[in-house]
Amino acid sequence: MTLMKSWVASANAPDHPFPLNNLPYGVFSIGDGDPRCGVAIGDMILDCREAEEEGVIDMGTGPLFDVPFWNEVMEEGPELWARLRARLTEILAEGSPERAAVEPLLTPATDAVMHLPFLVAEFTDFYAGKHHAVNVGTMFRGAENALPPNWLHMPIGYNGRASSVVVSGTPVRRPWGQLKSPDHDTPAFLPCRRFDLELEMGAIVGSGSDGPVTVDEADEMIFGYVLLNDWSARDIQAWEYQPLGPFQAKATATTISPWIVTAAALDPFRTTCPAREVELLPHLRDTVPMLYDIDLWVSLAPLDKPASIITRTNYNEMYYSAAQQLAHHSTSGCPMNPGDLLGSGTVSGPEKGNRGSLLELSWGGKEPITLETGDQRSFIEDGDTLILHGAARGDGYTIGFGDCTGQVIPALENPYER
């Protein structure tokens, strides 16, 4: 696909993240104004609430934009999603006769504060990148037990904590937790010493289900994608995760990028999963390409210093697609709801420079990485800002996500003193 031109001139630059081909969905506010739904187009945001009030958007449903989240659009289902996208494309396309009516509904993005784009119903995090699973498994359980026996047969996941999902830009406070170092007999309650990022994609369930769904059905249920940083306290995790999985190590915060990039916008970038090492059971088998070719990279900026890129990878490295994860999630009859968020699992590539966490990049802290500033890092230090970036690159255009940013601030001195 090639660039679709908009009358919003900034949207037509080949490297702009928000061309007419994208039209990502967010929630923004200006000054003291109420948060409302908006669509990014170039350097501008279309105010959906105003557009609906003015009759520029009228999908023949009840009001969709009287609330500051996209869940009501999701609940309408794929047919409405397609019609809404077509209408937005129509009014923002070069030559649209409606330009004069639409132009007053645009606000410069630089004036906007972004909010969570949807109400997160429940959050599930998967472990579906093979390079990551092998790397972490080797460090936690040794090379001979790196990949659990079930891993090649189904996307392993665990339920996370929806209440801890925050939008890009929210500061993240270093947590306290129960830790036990190998050279102590008993655990201690201390601020986390091995605080880490996880570079992930988040898939947003748009349509619900109340019974098992096929991989094809699951693919149609997915509304869109965000970048997702699943902040991880590695020392808390190592002590707590056996036998019931990660719990407090993953509950401090999960940051998502502010714009939902729709599955429709990503459709031209579909790609297949890697070759299967063992055949999947029929209910989890790939049908059509359901991964996406999305470049992902992370930069780290120490306090008051410039950022260095610390890793580069691609979403096409995952062993399981979000559709396969969602299909697996539904096998038990587990009800899935609009607003459920599925983390892909850490996206690591095959080489050292492609790893999606500091745990892997520094190999458990044994091989610190050196930033362009000369600073070294094994794990995140206070004041560090982590920035996740993503881009799907088309013919003369780019589909971007907006940055997924978080600065780590120091732990509370005494967590019980308020």
Which residues contact its own copies by CB under 8 A?
A: 121-122, 127, 137, 140-141, 148-150, 153-154, 156-164, 173, 175-178, 180, 186-189, 211-214, 233, 236, 239-249, 251-253, 278, 281-283, 328-329, 331-337, 340, 412, 415-416, 418
Instruction: Tell me whether residue 85 or residue 180 sits nearer to its own copies (CB atom).
Output: 180
Least Å distance, CB 323 to its own copies, is 14
Alpha-carbon span 271 to 288, nearest angstrom: 9
Contacts of 31 (CB under 8 A, 6+ apart): 111
CA distances from 94 to 12, 19, 169, 267 (A): 10, 12, 33, 22
132 is catalytic: yes
> Position of tokens 């470049």?
295
CA distances from 22 to 42, 55, 82, 264, 265 (A): 10, 23, 13, 9, 5
Find the length of the chain.
Answer: 418
> What minimum distance in Å lies between the beta carbon of 314 and its own copies?
24
Name the DSSP letter for residue 402.
Answer: -
Which three-class secondary structure state does DSSP give residue 76?
A: helix
CA distances from 348 to 129, 196, 240, 310 (A): 7, 14, 24, 12
Per-residue CA distances from 280 to 147, 153, 271, 283 (Å): 16, 6, 18, 8
Work out how close the CB of 267 gets to its own copies at its nearest, in angstroms, rounded to a whole number.
Answer: 24
Sequential DSSP letters for 212-224: ---HHHHHHHEEE
Q: Toward its own copies, which CB reaches closer, 24 or 137?
A: 137
Contacts of 251 (CB under 8 A, 6+ apart): 160, 161, 164
Minimum CB distance to its own copies smaller for 14 or for 335: 335
**Shortest distance in whole angstroms from residue 297 CB to its own copies:** 26
Nearest residue (CB) to its own copies, 162 versus 307: 162
The active-site residue, picked from 16, 131, 132, 389, is 132
We find the least distance from the C-beta atom of residue 256 to its own copies, in angstroms, to be 15
Between CA 376 and CA 374 the distance in angstroms is 6
Nearer to its own copies, 161 or 270 (CB): 161
Nearer to its own copies, 173 or 352 (CB): 173
* Min dist. Cβ of residue 113 to its own copies (A): 20
Nearer to its own copies, 187 or 350 (CB): 187
Phi and psi, residue 177, nearest 5°: -175, 170
Strand stretches in 137-249, DSSP E? 157-159, 165-167, 172-173, 176-179, 188-191, 195-196, 199-205, 222-230, 232-233
In the complex, what is the shortest distance from the CB of residue 279 to its own copies, in angstroms, rounded to a whole number?
9
Q: How far is the CB of 411 from its own copies (least distance, A)?
A: 9
Q: Which is nearer to its own copies, 92 or 359 (CB)?
A: 359
Place of tokens 């802290």: 365
How far is the C-alpha of 376 from the C-alpha of 323, rounded, in Å?
A: 38
Q: Which residues are catalytic?
A: 132
